[in-house]
Amino acid sequence: MTERRLDTELWSHPDFQGLSTGAKLLYLYSWSNNHCNAAGLYRISLETIAFETRLPLAEIPTYLEELGPLDVEWQNGQKTLWVKKFLKHQGRSPKFLVAVAHALDQISDQDLVKTYLQYNNTLSIPYRYPIDSQSIDNSYSTDRDRDSVKTQYRVQRLSDLSVFKEELSPRYPNLDWNHEIEKCWTYWEPKDKGSKKKPNWKLRLMNWLDNAAKRQPGERAPVVYTRPEDLGVNYG
């Protein structure tokens, strides 16, 4: 069972005392639910919150607004909850900070991760920023080399997939990019463990997004990409 530290003086804090009953429950839940990770920054849906707390779904956005003065931020577009003071009250050992870095690996929004690290800039969180497409393009001389690195060897965690966002996300305006790539990663990452074969992640994403678009009215028809020219790769 995971243990969490919470300041007992919270109950005498004026901002907490001024909360509605539902907001108080939501605040305690934000610290103690099973989705909360070492960073206190985690993806969760309003539906999940409503199911686990038994709070009315329609009232949860109002409760979340109440938590602003207590430094709990709801990123609606990302379906991400950030308990900003969470890390302050937890352990700060090197081992725990490694766990924080691993938790940040699961956040695909790099701007949000950057903001998180700046907020906690007094701590030495060993987070490694993912590679970007510009650095790849400057390091490899041929289209084949660039595609090999970008789609295979350098994708080591969820946030690395952000290198494809600029190119692929405009093709699917009705899809939630971060939600879909997280589902794609969750599906494939366990299957890749122990495999010596380096997967083509760009091809995977294109197939995944096209299949997701099939379920979205007005989106592109599903296409299965199998040829190099479909990926814009010129081997000539």
Task: Report CA torsion sign: 95, 100, 106, 109.
Answer: negative
Q: Is the pLDDT of residue 78 over 60?
A: yes
| Mean pLDDT across the chain | 80
- Band (154; pLDDT cuts 50, 70, 90): low
pLDDT of residue 36: 94
Compare 50 and 147 and report the one with higher pLDDT: 50
0.75 exceeded by the pTM?
A: no
The answer to whether 133 touches 150, Cβ cutoff 8 Å, is: yes
Tokens standing for 83? 């308990």
Q: Mind listing the pLDDT tens digit for each residue in 109-135?
A: 888 999 999 999 888 888 877 654 444
Q: Is the model's pLDDT at 137 over the cut of 90?
A: no
At 234 the pLDDT is 53
Domain ranges across the chain: 8-119, 133-231
Answer positive or negative: Cα dihedral of 136, 150, 231, 206.
negative
Gap between the Cα atoms of 130 and 95, Å rounded: 21
pLDDT for 1 beyond 70: no
Is residue 227's pLDDT more than 60?
Answer: no
Residue 7 reports pLDDT greater than 70: yes
Between 146 and 6, the more confident residue is 6
User: Which pLDDT belongs to residue 2?
Assistant: 66
Is residue 231 very low, low, confident or very high in pLDDT (cuts 50, 70, 90)? low
Arithmetic mean of pLDDT, 32-37: 93
Q: Which residue has the higher pLDDT, 74 or 94?
A: 74
How many Å separate Cα 119 from the centre of its chain? 18
Query: Per residue in 171-225, pLDDT tens?
Result: 888 888 888 888 888 888 888 877 777 788 888 888 888 888 887 665 454 454 5
Q: What is the pLDDT of residue 128?
A: 77
- Sign of the C-alpha dihedral, residues 187, 165, 117, 23? negative
Q: Identify the CATH number of the domain defined by range 8-119.
A: 1.10.10
Distance, CA of 42 to CA of 40 (rounded, Å) = 6
